[in-house]
Amino acid sequence: MLNKPRYINVGGKLLDLAVPKVMGIINITPDSFYKGSRVTEEKDIVNTAVRMVEDGADILDVGGYSSRPYAKDVSPEEEKSRVFNAISLIHKELPDTIISIDTFRSEIALIAINECGAQIINDISGGESDENMFNVVQALNVPYIIMHMKGTPGNMQENPQYDDVVADILKWFSSKIVKLQSSGVKDIILDPGFGFGKTVAHNFEMLQRLGDFTVAGLPLLVGVSRKSMIWKSLGITPDEALNGTSVLNAVALLGGADILRVHDVKEAVQTIRLIEQVKNIRGKTKSNPDL
């Protein structure tokens, strides 16, 4: 296993990942799977961002294209109208807060970074949906979250199959990482893509083997918040999946997650604090068996 970098460079400032960070989800959409994450009015967008930062969010992830299974396509023009104004509003209200643009379209990423105040690109397609995305990442020299998705949101849940879900995703990541790093991209964050072209069984296997992804030597983002692997397993709804989210976030942190992408920031921050306590006790016990 390679040592993961402790810092990523965000807008000329170093974000320390020694303690895991929380990314709050802000969906400027009418149809994201969890209705509690949807905001469209300017006042609600700003209020949601402020609340998340007050609750401890380190990054705010703004997206205007629902990536839930079988989601309808959104035109580039509609996505632009949703996210550019939202990012600008949040940046004006919270100028010191890190904002990521959740998009697979390079033209939207470019404008969001250059003109609106975003500082990180979060690409659910890992460059598969837009062949110019890697060029934009290279030109902008910003952190890039590369997520694995099998297929597209419209078809990704139609009987996804793998020989070995973790090994197959690592192989896919490997070719992407080589291409990015060879072009000079320095800050790459891996997201295995829970729920994106995976069955419930695939998702739990990925979570159980999360440490395998650290072989890449890069920071790891995990997004299981209120997803179907929780509510399908428990026979509940996304609205009832907060407790399950906290449980699986704790498992992810113990498995090596560096960033948690969540709908519920306060609970994620509390989970991190408690897991850090566990880790600290483990470290003290190893160094002093008499404790």
Give catalytic residues, as residue numbers. 227, 261
- Is residue 137 left, alpha or beta, with left meaning phi > 0 and alpha meaning psi from -120 to 50? alpha
Other beta carbons within 10 angstroms of residue 186's beta carbon come to 13
Token couple for 106:
């390079």
- Go through 227-254 and write b for each residue having 16 or more CB atoms within 10 A of its CB, e for each that does not: bbbbbeeeeeebeebbebbbebbbbbbe
Q: How far apart are CA 67 and CA 215, in angstroms?
A: 28
Tokens 């790459």 locate to 188
Backbone angles phi, psi at 202, to 5 degrees: -60, -45
Backbone angles phi, psi at 223, to 5 degrees: -125, 95
Q: Sign of the C-alpha dihedral, residues 125, 131, 134, 139?
A: negative
Q: How far apart are CA 136 and CA 114, in angstroms?
A: 11
Q: CA angle at residue 225 from 134 to 43, to 5 degrees?
A: 80
Using DSSP's 3-state secondary structure scheme, residue 126 falls into coil
Q: How far apart are CA 23 and CA 176, in angstroms?
A: 23
Other beta carbons within 10 angstroms of residue 35's beta carbon come to 11
